Amino acid sequence: MAINIRMRGKSKGGVAEIKALIKHPMESGARMNKKTGKPYPAKYIDMVEVSVNGTKAVDAQWSGAVSANPYMAVQVKANAGDEVTISLKDNTGETGTEALTLK
């Protein structure tokens, strides 16, 4: 199952603001199931990468401390017509990628 990403972006003066809403449970592994007394298994995004025309612009490492269904906004050097791609990977190996062409 792929990680779902909804994103939009707009370029102005050579700088693009990219906004993304990521659908992911972001479970840290520290929270306990009240019925069984066992912890919920850890499942969180640990790698975020933003690329412009195939060149890496942002490389971030996240942890279980990020909230569920995180919202992300970044600014990158990009012009109208450039392709911006967000790629994610979580600690279980699940991945997600979304791309858009800037207006």
**pLDDT tens per residue, range 26-74:** 999 999 999 999 999 999 999 999 999 999 999 999 999 999 999 999 9
Q: Residue ranges per domain, the chain? A: 4-101
54's tokens: 């195939």
Q: What is the pLDDT of residues 7-31, one digit of tens each?
A: 999 999 999 999 999 999 999 999 9
> The whole model's pTM is what?
0.91
Overall CATH class of domain 4-101: mainly beta
Q: Which among 34, 38, 3, 7 is positioned nearest to 20, based on CA atoms?
A: 7
In the DSSP assignment, the letter for residue 43 is B
